[in-house]
Structure 1
Amino acid sequence: MEHVPLVIVGAGQAGLAAAHAANRRRVRPLVLEAADRPGGSWPHYYDSLTLFSPARFAALPGRPMPGDGNRYPSRDDVAAYLSDYASRLDADLRCGHRVTGVGTEDGAFTLTTADGSRVRTDAVVAATGSFGRPHRPDLPGLTEFGGAVPHSAEYRAPEAFAGQRVVVVGGGNSGVQIATELARVARVSLATRSPVAWVPQRPLGRDVHWWATRSGLDTAPLGHLWRGRATPVLDDGRHQSAFATGNPDQRAMFARLHATGVEWSDGTTEEVDTVLLATGYRPDLGFLHGTGALDGDGRPRHRAGVSTTVPGLGYVGLEFQRTFGSATLRGVGRDARHVLRRLLRGRGSR
């Protein structure tokens, strides 16, 4: 059986940042990626997605995002950047290798892939993100509803919804962006449990990420304080202006679904064609089941990205892993350095 010093599971932004951090410690990792190319979830997001941060604040370690640092890169810009970044790493990158299980024995790990191949290693970094595990809440009446209930992970463009009555569930950035885009071709409501937490994109003429960096808030280990709170929705004014027209509109979360639509919180009912779930994701770590690494909800037991139950196991790319930006392009590099420093103790950096 092949034996390597480090296996990184996933070749998205988190996995690539982890590979870079390993290189800095003179380790050439094996990176196992389920898809046929590196880049993680980026090639699969909706067509119009643009980053919420300027290019200068959206780069992985060692290579700036090309082009104007003040622009907001598109989905395809990021996918191309990650592909180029992967090609420059000193890593054994194997695409089309989905990890299906991890075993532990004698202080080492054995990873099994979907094709039955196995590899043994001293350390594992789980960097699979969450796109593969979209969260679908158990909404009242969901099984009765006869319309479509796609998740935002399946959404690509608005044309398929032309002329429909659509309710988007979820008040984060994606929910707001998708609702605004759908309103060009459909009648749309955004249903949320709390008001949208609008944050100006460029207060006093500077992007909010510039302020967060200058103040030190972006790197402060305070991410856990935000867990469970409303997600800030960054806006340059376009989305709030769209909501001011009444289409889309924002409403309190509906009471329940019925066969042909929704019952709103005030008791009124309305026919609806589609309920689109912009309800986020959960860590996609099913391959770790049975190792003791996860709690009953499938969430990793860790401290700042280092497993508290399985020695030699680390994570990169978890939401609020250490800071507010832990699951972002600008944040995964910092977390990767922290985790690899602990997993590869005794290996010098360069």
Structure 2
Amino acid sequence: MSMEHNEKYIFEAEWYDKIACILKKFYLYYYPFDNTVELFDIKTRKTFLRRTKCEGIQAKDFYVGATVAIFSRNIRITDYADSTTRTKLQTKMQKTFAIIKPTVVGKLGEILKYIVASNFHVANIKMVKLTQEQATDLYKDKEEATIAYIVNYLTSGPIVALELLGDHAITHWQELMGPEDPSEAIAKAPSSLRACYGKDSIHNAVYGSDSEEVAEKELQCFFPNPKTSKKGPANTATLENCTCCIIKPHAVQAKLTGNIIDDVQKAGYTISAVQKFFVNPFDAEEFLEVYKGVLPDYAAMVGELQSGPCIVMEIKHKDDKYDVQGEFRKLCGPMDPDIARQIRPDTLRAKYGKTKVQNAVHCSDLPEDGILEVEYFFKILDNS
């Protein structure tokens, strides 16, 4: 056997077993050569999962702080378990914190496409409304005179907070944003985000942490560890005149989030809340219960929804008289992507769906379901 075959990364990991209410701790072995994983239970000193192939995960999904879905169990990686793994991965993969500011939230899809095309992995996403205090905290190093303007702008509407992961993420994101003043950005870095989307040095589209320490602190504030009782900023769901859209795990994994959001926004819809969720088997069954005994694919749909992170959105329309739920369903297209490609080729499922189960998006079926489904995620699951 060559070294490549046996090369492995070893992490310390944990999984909260909700049914037994215990936190299990593991050594997680990952073998890049054949994309296999193995779990060793630290307490019982027994193999919990023999080395096995795991669909839908890749080498880049393994880093400290990541949550990986292994057979519907959301396993959180807490540390490196040996120095080889640490040396190999720590220098390379880095996380940073980024914000998409109020005036460009309407271009979220376009910006996400650009971020992903620039080799970033969007590890977390949440739309929030900043308080004066949170906004001031982000810019406490700025001169007094400009802080008031910046804080006013940042609290003027929702922002989208992101955890970005990539090689040398902090400097790479700074380069991608470009100089703070968009006119300087246009001259020096014409393809940067601030050159493309910024108006002036306050309304300059995006924000990013400027060091590892700052990134760590800001990520903890916006995306706190689920084990701590700390709550991040509240979501922005309005729970009225809305419908629900879920970008399914297979589409998130295939990096289609930006494309789907861009299509939704270009079709004239407003995304009034967005957040990444890991749905456990119990919640997946409960959420999809209306299809039980109705659709033959019910079990497979439950399996898909819990197979990895999904991205949930509250969708609205500027016009209050608009049938947002009915019209949005038309944009999603027929449940079966093959049929969608024949009769409605420009719908989301025609463009991004693979099979009836992996059909890119879930959308609310009935008018009254829209609010209920949004509530399920943004009110019940987000606060549990």
Tell me the TM-score normalised to structure 1 length: 0.27
Q: More helix per residue: 1 or 2?
A: 2
- Larger RCO (CA within 8 A; separation ≥ 6): 1
